[in-house]
Amino acid sequence: MGYEVWGLIRGQANPRVRHLRQLLGDVRLIRGDLLDQGSLIAAVERVQPDEVYNLAAISYVPMSWQQAELTGEVTGLGVLRVLEAIRVCSGISSSRTPGRGQIRFYQASSSEMYGQVRESPQTESTPFHPRSPYGVAKAYGHFLTQNYRESYGMFAVSGIMFNHESPRRGSEFVTRKVTLGAAKIKLGYERQLRLGNMHASRDWGFAGDYVRAMQMMLAQDSPADYVIGTGVTHSVEQLVDTAFRAVGLNWRDHVVTDAAFIRPAEVDRLCADPSKAKDELGWEPKIGFEELIAMMVDADVELLASSGGSAGEEFGTDSW
């Protein structure tokens, strides 16, 4: 698409950099940290971007109860620091002074903001009732993005992303935990998979489709927020059934529930209404649930076969 892409990395001798370079090829890396305002200003000054995508967060919901303050700092206030870096580097003062050539900003908002849902399916105007410190921090980032758009005329938009998955998903999240677990059991590396609430339901889509939506949102003539999801919901039990069937196993022979994975407050059921994205952006997901899970299971079988069963252990699938 003619993009020159820069990625922000944090920390000293960050062990993920080597892995990132293998995965991402042409992406250039620059140092910076969402906890450090100056580093973000320096990064924006150095790169002079046309578009900034804030996909960074502490994103594992259970961890947000363990490290609530850090989650607020990174997932919530981190958005403020990125917006401030853009504002300062663009020379925008207190007045509404949008101008040509302004930097466009995308914020990855989350369906976790709906939490205990007020209506179903969820649209851009459904009220929020977050159920975790993560959801609360995301709601802050969402409102702040709107506020910078309204206060300074910035081209700042939020995509309210429902769960988006791929073979690159960390193994602490339920889809990958299940596809990796099914593959390990199939290949004889493990016999059992321990999970939490099997009745929770999510609108799971393919991450590649969602990234396409982000880019479309920034290519519009005027800034607006959009719900991005498939409109189809499945339970964790249906997910497990689909993944185990993909490797010819019956999940009931292998899956046990474990209270260690039950959350202090649960989001029971999420389902997107992506009509606005369809009507205004022309966006639709290309990959459905069955195809997504089959893709993830196949990738995990292949990964395990080539790594001798150790795949996924760098993330761990322990209880929180």
Residues within the interface to ligand F7E (CB under 6 A): 59, 61, 110-112, 161-163, 172-174, 177, 195-197, 200, 202, 236, 261, 263, 266-267
What is the 8-class DSSP label of residue 76?
I
Q: Rank residues 47 and 133 by Cβ distance to ligand F7E and give the closer one.
A: 133
Q: Rank residues 102 and 110 by Cβ distance to ligand F7E and give the closer one.
A: 110
Lookup result for tokens 């059934």 = 241
Please confirm, yes or no, whether 171 is among the known catalytic residues.
Answer: no
List all residues 6 or more positions away from 311 whose beta carbon is below 8 Å from its beta carbon. 180, 300, 303, 304
Q: What are phi and psi of 192, to 5 degrees?
A: -140, 150
Shortest reach from residue 281's CB to ligand F7E, in Å: 19
Q: Rank residues 180 and 267 by Cβ distance to ligand F7E and give the closer one.
A: 267
Shortest reach from residue 184's CB to ligand F7E, in Å: 14
Contact between 255 and 185 under an 8 Å Cβ cutoff? The reply is: no
Please confirm, yes or no, whether 110 is among the known catalytic residues.
Answer: yes
Question: What is the rounded distance in angstroms from the CA atom of residue 243 to the CA atom of residue 182?
Answer: 7
Shortest reach from residue 264's CB to ligand F7E, in Å: 11
84, 90, 94, 98: CA torsion to nearest 10: -120
Q: Rank residues 30 and 77 by Cβ distance to ligand F7E and give the closer one.
A: 77
Question: Mind spelling out the 3-state secondary structure of 26-53?
Answer: CCEEEECCCCCHHHHHHHHHHHCCCEEE
Angle at alpha carbon of residue 136, lines to 132 and 142, rounded to 5°: 140
Choose the catalytic residue: 59, 64, 109, 110.
110
Burial class, 120, CB count within 10 angstroms (exposed 0-12 / middle 13-18 / buried 19+): middle
Q: Rank residues 161 and 217 by Cβ distance to ligand F7E and give the closer one.
A: 161
Q: Rank residues 41 and 267 by Cβ distance to ligand F7E and give the closer one.
A: 267
Shortest reach from residue 318's CB to ligand F7E, in Å: 10
Question: What is the rounded distance in angstroms from the CA atom of residue 267 to the CA atom of residue 249?
Answer: 29
CA distances, 47 to each of 30, 42, 44, 59, 232 (Å): 9, 9, 5, 26, 39
Contact between 251 and 189 under an 8 Å Cβ cutoff? The reply is: no
Choose the catalytic residue: 53, 114, 134, 148.
134
Shortest reach from residue 42's CB to ligand F7E, in Å: 27
Choose the catalytic residue: 112, 171, 172, 210.
112
Shortest reach from residue 152's CB to ligand F7E, in Å: 26
Please confirm, yes or no, whether 112 is among the known catalytic residues.
Answer: yes
Question: What is the rounded distance in angstroms from the CA atom of residue 317 to the CA atom of residue 320?
Answer: 9
What residues are labeled active site? 110, 112, 134
